[in-house]
Amino acid sequence: MWIELAQRLFDVVEPARPASPDDVDAIGTELGHEVPPDLRALLLETDGLHGRHGAALVHPARRIVDDNLALRRDPGLAELYLPFDQLIFFADNGGGDLFGFPALPNRPEVVVWDHETDSRHRVAGSLRDYLTRRAGGDGDDWYRR
């Protein structure tokens, strides 16, 4: 379902092998939050999605864990930004901004974290909506317009 959706939305899509259930479960275990159902389903179908020029539309399961833990554990970032432990980041725009799900409460909407302003705001109502908006956007900063 997710690969077919991405292929309809994007002119170039590079799916991957499915993530193992253990890799997907590690997101919840290591980050301490339930994995959003749509993200779980996508990763079990394809361990991440890449678009044109290798742009990461959705990161692989292991990168989701590693990136989120790095953000949460970096003392330098803790001095500059609000805590990241209420979000599960799963993608980026290629320029430093990150897309994620609110972890508490677990909601299907997608938010963007702006690394320059530390603002966090809703950009899509669901993972499907995020992919649709990203595909229809003009460039890496589609969510700013």
Tens digit of each residue's pLDDT, the chain (145 residues): 999 999 999 999 999 999 999 999 999 999 999 999 999 999 999 999 998 877 889 999 999 999 999 999 999 998 998 989 999 999 999 889 999 999 877 789 999 999 999 999 999 999 999 999 999 877 677 788 6
Return the CATH superfamily for domain 2-144: SMI1/KNR4-like (3.40.1580.10)
**Is the model's pTM score more than 0.85?**
yes
Instruction: Please say whether the beta carbons of 140 and 96 come within 8 A.
Output: no
Taking the domains of the chain in order of start, what are their residue ranges? 2-144
Query: Could you give the C-alpha distances from 35 to 25, 63, 74, 107, 123, in angstroms and in order?
Result: 8, 14, 22, 10, 19
